Amino acid sequence: MNTAASSAARVVRQFRQIVVWPVQLIPVKAGAPVQRHWEVLDRIQGPNPWQHWHGKFDIGTEEFQERHYKEFVTFLPFVQRFLYGSPAGQEGGQFGQSSIRVYRRSDVAQARLTFADGFEHLFAVHRCDLYFFHDADVMIVVLEVSADDLPLERVQDVLFRFARAYPAYWESDGQPGNCMRQVAWLDQERRVLAVSDYEQRQRYLDHVARYRTPCLASHWSWLIEPLGLELPGQTAPLRYRQLEYYRMPFMAYLALDDPHSLTRADFARLAIVTRPGSPDEFEYSEHSLRNFEADYCDDRFWNRGGAHTSGETRLIVTGRTIALVGQHDNAFFCGRETGVLGQFRHQYFLLFLIAHFSKATLLSISDELAVAMDRLHVGDTESVKQFKRTIRQSMEVFLRFTHRYWFHAVSNQEQARSLYRRLCEQLHNYELYDEVRTEVMDMSNYLDTDSNRRQANTVLRLTVVTIFGLIGTIVTGFLGMNLLAEAESALPRRAVLFLLVLAATVGVTIFTIVKSKQLADFLDALSDNRLTLRDKLGVWSKIWFEPRSRGP
């Protein structure tokens, strides 16, 4: 193959990228059993570009297409109810609604990306959505962009630089490291709506120095307004904060004339998401990539040969990314309805969404537990009460998450099942779930232990009061309550005697409760035959002359 033909084969005829960015939402009502963050978004007054998107299952039957049906039957019944709701049967009514609420903005039509060498290219924006989840303090931002006829090196550069919430560093010339030189959102008329500010180094430094939290790039923060980043003094009614790494998870679709023109190094760059480079050179050592195919590649439709050559597809899964590579002129690979492209935008997207939602929710619960521990002051009664309420609420949230959202399998279709399993394993979701479950159980055991301790102390005090009250009860019962024959006395005299006896009884009871610990120690010593009379009298004396502990 000559150089020109080789270059043409390495042109990505159709490129798509779907960014899936989880963020943590600040609870709308502290202590509320169920959170519905989207209701706050609905009530926001003033400019609000987000509108509730009713979804594919709220359309009429005449608009319902085969791809909708194919997407639906991909999933197991309990996952179908999670994604789409179930208006019939025992889940009908309020509980039959989908657990997902989607909001979409339609004013952003294009993204203008400026590369480090000054090259600009317009990318079409197909969707910009916010995904809310019933009873979860997590929101996922979804952005899908596409472009045609881009060199593979440009595509690799977009995957490496575009989906970053803020710069990691700055070059010596002031340009942002590992970021696009500029990103601009455009409307249908190509008017600029928002522009990135990666180059404003001092703004990012001042923000971290002041708030101890990263500053989001202006174009990303603008994109999800009127939601506001959680900061001291933030007045936005719905607030969020970053939950994971600043590199956003994404999915990539690459259709080429000849997908076999990609080398092993090219595929490794797509998986690990590194900067463009020579197709013959690895970004990392070959030793570290010796198990690359087994760890990251689903090759059931790759290198088949024979009549299947034109339909070959390689699926690369790393947890944080999914890359799908195939042949452009193959109708099945590029089919928007029931082909691989349709599966990429719908079935595979939902699998990616569920896996990252699970991880984000577990991280959110773990974060809430850590915050509760930080706010606990053992000597402060009110702090202890608040800690117990927070932990019990977190236990309830974790229980509802487990039974509503935690899936070990979402489909019986082999490729979908394999893809979901790979995603969860690469994201370490199973280990994270066990870790959070252990944290919740530890907190639960602490609460149970503390409750048992308090109950034991209460029972101890009641037992001591009962034992010493038994003496007075027996004495008065033996005397028949006639030691003082005042039944016929005048009412004022009887009232005074009653108050005196009541005061004495209350005083003795309070004294017994106050000294219940010492009295209990005395009862233990009295029943211990190994102690001498002197030792027992010493314990008795501590009831009246207990030495006070001195400070250091």
**pLDDT confidence of residue 94:** 47
Placement of tokens 């013959």 in the chain: 280
Residue 488 CA to residue 502 CA, distance in Å, equals 19
Q: How many Å apart are CA 350 and CA 362, to the nearest integer?
A: 18
| Sign of the dihedral defined by the CA atoms of residues 272, 273, 279, 281, in that order | negative
Q: What is the pLDDT of residue 483?
A: 60
Burial of residue 8, with CB atoms counted within 10 A of its CB: 0-12 exposed, 13-18 middle, 19 or more buried: middle
Report d(CA 179, CA 157) in Å as an integer.
Answer: 9
| Residue carrying structure tokens 């690895």 | 282
CA distance 184 to 455: 63
pLDDT given at position 352: 96
Whether 41 is in a domain gets the answer no
Top-confidence residue, 296 or 383:
296
pLDDT greater than 90 at residue 22: yes
In this predicted structure, the answer to whether residue 461 has a pLDDT above a threshold of 80 is no
The mean pLDDT value for 267-284 works out to 88
Q: Is the pLDDT of residue 147 over 60?
A: yes
pLDDT band at 304 (very low <50, low <70, confident <90, very high): confident
Residues 284, 307: Cα–Cα separation, whole Å: 35
pLDDT at 309: 54
| 112: Cα separation from own chain's centroid | 31
210 falls in which pLDDT band (50, 70, 90)?
Answer: very high
Residue 326 counted as domain residue: no
Number of structural domains in the chain? 1
- Residue 471 is predicted with a pLDDT of 65
The residue segments making up the domain with residue 534 are 450-544
The pLDDT value recorded for residue 195 is 97
Task: Residue 52: name the closest of 145, 132, 143, 144 by CA.
Answer: 132
Domain membership of residue 145 (yes or no) is: no
Residue 480 lies in a domain: yes
Give domain status of residue 121, yes or no.
Answer: no
**How many whole angstroms separate alpha carbon 276 and alpha carbon 158?**
10
Compute the Cα dihedral for 147, 150, 154, 159 and give only its sign. positive
Identify whether 39 is part of a domain.
Answer: no
Which pLDDT band holds residue 310 (cuts at 50, 70, 90)? low
pTM over 0.75: yes
Comparing 393-402, 424-433, 451-460, the range with the smallest average pLDDT is 451-460
pLDDT, the chain, mean:
84
Least confident of 63-77, 158-172, 462-476: 462-476
Do the beta carbons of residue 302 and residue 264 sit within 8 Å? no
As a dihedral over the C-alpha atoms of residue 320, residue 325, residue 330, residue 336, rounded to 10 degrees, the angle is 20
From its phi and psi, is residue 353 left (phi > 0), alpha (psi between -120 and 50) or beta? Answer: alpha
DSSP string, 116-178: TTS-EEEEEEEEEEEEEETT-SEEEEEEEEEEEEEEHHHHHHHHHHSSBSS-S-B-TTSPBTT
Average pLDDT score over residue span 303-310: 63
Rounded CA-CA distance 357/22 in Å is: 7
Whether the CB-CB separation of 504 and 512 falls below 8 Å is answered with no
* Residue pLDDT, tens place only, 332-360: 888 877 789 999 999 999 999 999 999 99
Mean pLDDT, residues 361-374 taken together: 87
pLDDT band, residue 45 (cuts 50/70/90):
confident
Q: What pLDDT shows up at residue 146?
A: 96
Residue 490 lies in a domain: yes
Q: Which residue(s) pair with 150 in the sheet?
A: 12
What confidence score (pLDDT) does residue 93 get? 41
Over the stretch 525-536, which tens digit does the pLDDT of each residue have? 766 677 787 777
Tell me what the mean pLDDT of segment 496-504 comes to: 77
Q: Answer yes or no: is pLDDT of 427 > 80.
A: yes
CA–CA separation, 410 and 349 (whole Å): 13
**Is residue 454, in this structure, part of any structural domain at all?**
yes
Q: Which residue has the tokens 């299947």?
A: 308
